[in-house]
Structure 1
Amino acid sequence: MPTGGRSGAFILLGTVVRPHGIRGELKIRPHTEQPANLCRYRRMYLAADADGEVIECTDVRARVSGRLIILKVPGCTDRNRAEQLVGWHLWLAASDLPPAGPDEVYLHTLMNKRARTVDGRVLGTIRELLGGGQERLVIREGENEYLVPAVRAFIAAVDDDEVVLDLPPGLLEMNR
């Protein structure tokens, strides 16, 4: 992963799943709600793992292909090199994200904030964001841990230190 660790300085966009064609293009499984947004970024990073090699990719070209993204990065010019990158992760510097709109929130900005419900129940601190289809916030306080779907409908308010959640009845008990 690029310098900065998982502290929020970089956002995981996707994973290289296989080469595409013979000219070094990569098929990416996106980890974002709006995969087409990957097409707007021109600088991204490829990293094998948290402590491994990092490749800064500038002048990146991307296009949507079904549920995958086809990515062309300079320096990856043939299928052999593309095969070497299978399993690597695609990252974006958080500073390269466009500003969030008035009713939008970037999930990475919720990390380490206190979480409470609209009725005042303190749940703990948001410690992780789990992907894999539906993203979930991992909220911990002592021995208690809650997994809450990271959907806009459940986020009532966000300020500098706290996230207020409006959750359906029974959700916390079911995801504890």
Structure 2
Amino acid sequence: MKPAQNVPEDRIQIGQLRSAYGLNGWLWVYSNTEPMSNLFDYLPWYVETKDGWQVMDVKRWKPHGKGLVVSLKGVSDRTAADGLVGANVWISKSQLPKAGVDEYYWSDLTGLTVLSLDEQEQDINLGVIYELFETGANDVMVVHATPDSVDSEERMIPWHKDVVQHVDLDAGRIYVNWGVDY
């Protein structure tokens, strides 16, 4: 473990160290990647610890039960592992592969203004994407109201080809086929 000198400004959270595993410094790690083992494709990690940012490299990892455990360089006992519990794992966004055509990273969608059209084809501001989550059928956008939105409602809008009409990352907008009264 070494203190991070240049923590990337374009960082993106890809996981979290959850709890110590065993006595030799291993930790349970939660992954935001799909599949979850892709977490180990992006190294080094920038870990936000209680004592500041640390750059960490993975020594070994393995699937265990329904999760993953990891051994980090410089973390050799349970006490050191306990000190990292709850720490978030970040990487530079530049480490990620470029999204394909009509594919988006959730982090790129968070904060976009969600617009629908009324009967006169006028923009209706539904709010901004606060977060996304998976369901069995499709992903869902959680849209929070803003001072500029049509009302103060929180909306759950499915990420589906019949709903999502157009994404304009440069303009910070996403157009959806979604009524105000849904």
TM-score category, normalised to shorter length: 0.7 to 0.9
State TM-score, norm by structure 1: 0.72
Matches within 5 A, 1:50-129: 53-59=52-58, 61-117=60-116, 120-126=123-129, 128-129=130-131
Residues 148 and 93 from structure 1, CA distance in 2 versus in 1: closer, same or farther, beyond 3 angstroms? farther
CA RMSD of aligned residues (A): 3.2
Q: Is residue 42–residue 60 contact of structure 1 (8 Å, CA) maintained in 2?
A: no
Alignment length, in residue pairs? 163
What amino acid maps onto 2:49 in structure 1? A
Could you tell me how far 1:149 is from its partner in structure 2?
5.3
Distance 1:59 1:15 in 2: 14
Q: CA deviation at 1:135?
A: 6.7
Say whether the 8 Å CA contact 1:44–1:60 is kept in structure 2: no
Given candidates 120, 134, 146, the residue that maps to 2:154 is 146
* Structure 2 gap segments, 5+ residues each: 1-6
Structure having the higher helix fraction is 1
Q: In structure 2, how many angstroms separate the alpha carbons of the residues matched to 1:157 and 1:61?
A: 42
CA 1:132 to 1:111, structure 2 compared with 1: closer, same or farther past 3 Å?
A: closer
Residue by residue over 1:3-62, the C-alpha shift from the partner in whole angstroms, topping out at 9 and shown as x without a partner, is: 64xxxx22222222212233212111223443121121221121136xx51111135644
- For structure 1, the residue ranges without an aligned partner over 5 or more in a row are none
TM-score by length of 2: 0.70
Q: Name the SS for the 1:144 alignment partner.
A: coil
User: 1:164 is matched by which residue type in structure 2?
Assistant: Y
